[in-house]
């Protein structure tokens, strides 16, 4: 189970992975474990488990990651650092290692509004966390990247310089923020390579099946909506069944285009909805099999 995700992503074939998130209250963890079980039954390459914003619930992420691994699927545990001290982060990593969870997505996390950077007893950037994990040893480390630039970066070029630092610090693979226009990803991959960033990049796809999600998602992620997708939301957003079908079709088409253009590592933001993940895996059945 301790397979390195970076090594997996470099191996031949298409690797389709999924993301789940823990519940807000620990009392509901069993419900999300069931979701994890349904998604694990699709046999994704791995399942990533997010870390609660604010960083106060590492045990939620650990518990779900453990549950994923008991289903025979590698877990990728997210870990944010900005809202916690270095010594507490060290404790979180120790706990993960004790549970046999050795793939970690090292993230900065978001700085709470109205507060500035914390003191020197905190890591300030994901690259600092990455370096500390690398020095500790025993983990395969991933990082986040942003095809349209991180919203706080002064420019896309400066963001890529930060990304290069993260890779130099030890990030062995990257997962992208969601994007709705594949051309943006292709440009990003080209520009990243020009900066010498040559680790595997997993393309993050979010099936949008509900018009209400759109505003929140685009505000949070900074992802832009191409006119083709905006037209779909405009036309079908008022009808939940139609929007669901159109959203699944759009995400499926994005994935098929990625695979056709040689992008073989794809991460599905499932929003804890196994039925949507199932529909997309079903749509891709022969395509995934033909490239295995």
| Closer Cβ to ligand FAD, 117 or 289, answer by number | 117
- Is 205 buried (19+), middle (13-18) or exposed (0-12) by CB count in 10 A? buried
The two tokens of residue 6 are 């970076």
| Selected range binding ligand FAD among 156-164, 207-215, 239-247, 277-285, rule: CB under 6 A | 156-164
Task: Report helix angle 126-136 to 156-169, nearest 10.
Answer: 10
| Closer Cβ to ligand FAD, 159 or 181, answer by number | 159
Q: Is residue 279 at the binding interface for ligand FAD, with CB under 6 A as the rule? A: no
Q: Is residue 134 at the binding interface for ligand FAD, with CB under 6 A as the rule? A: no
| Selected range binding ligand FAD among 9-17, 37-45, 49-57, 88-96, rule: CB under 6 A | 49-57
User: To 5 degrees, how large is the angle CA 76–CA 81–CA 220?
Assistant: 80
Whether the CB-CB separation of 3 and 73 falls below 8 Å is answered with: no
Alpha helix positions (H), 181-226 = 182-194, 211-221
- From residue 28, alpha-carbon distances to 21, 60, 64, 118 in Å are 12, 10, 11, 31
Given 17, 127, 131, 182, the residue binding ligand FAD (CB under 6 A):
127
Compute the least distance from the CB of residue 81 to ligand FAD, in Å: 8
Catalytic residue positions?
19
Given 17, 102, 177, 182, the residue binding ligand FAD (CB under 6 A):
177
Q: Is residue 107 at the binding interface for ligand FAD, with CB under 6 A as the rule? A: yes
C-alpha span between 216 and 194 (Å, rounded): 33
Run of H or E residues at 135: helix 126-136
Compute the least distance from the CB of residue 234 to ligand FAD, in Å: 27
**Which residues of the shown chain bind ligand FAD in the complex (CB under 6 A)?**
50-51, 53, 78, 80, 107-110, 125-127, 144, 150, 152-153, 158-159, 162, 165-166, 175, 177, 204
């Amino acid at each position: 189970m301790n397979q390195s995700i970076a090594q997996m992503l470099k191996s031949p074939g298409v690797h389709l992975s999924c993301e789940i998130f823990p519940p807000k209250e620990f009392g509901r963890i069993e419900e999300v474990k069931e979701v994890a079980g349904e998604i694990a039954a699709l046999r994704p390459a791995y399942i990533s488990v997010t870390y609660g914003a604010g960083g106060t619930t590492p045990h939620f992420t650990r518990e779900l990651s453990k549950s994923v691994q008991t289903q025979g699927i590698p877990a990728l545990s997210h870990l944010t650092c900005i809202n916690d001290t270095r010594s507490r982060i060290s404790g979180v990593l120790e706990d993960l290692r004790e549970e046999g969870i050795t793939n970690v997505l090292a993230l900065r996390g978001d700085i709470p509004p109205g507060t500035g950077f914390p003191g020197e007893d905190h890591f300030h950037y994901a690259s600092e966390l990455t370096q500390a994990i690398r020095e500790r040893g025993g983990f395969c480390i991933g990082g986040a990247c942003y095809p349209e630039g991180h919203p706080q970066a002064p420019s896309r070029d400066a963001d890529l310089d930060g990304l290069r630092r993260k890779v130099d610090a030890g990030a062995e693979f990257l997962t992208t923020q969601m994007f709705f226009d594949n051309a943006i990803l292709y440009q990003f991959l080209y520009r990243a390579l020009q900066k010498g960033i040559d680790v595997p990049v997993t393309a993050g796809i979010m099936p949008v099946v509900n018009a209400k999600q759109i505003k929140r998602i685009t505000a949070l992620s900074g992802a832009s909506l191409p006119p083709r997708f905006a037209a779909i939301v405009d036309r079908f957003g008022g009808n939940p069944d139609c929007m669901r079908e159109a959203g699944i079709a759009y995400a499926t088409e994005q994935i098929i285009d990625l695979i056709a253009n040689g992008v073989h590592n794809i991460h599905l933001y499932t929003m804890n909805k196994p039925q949507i993940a199932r529909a997309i895996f079903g749509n891709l059945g022969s395509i995934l099999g033909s490239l295995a």
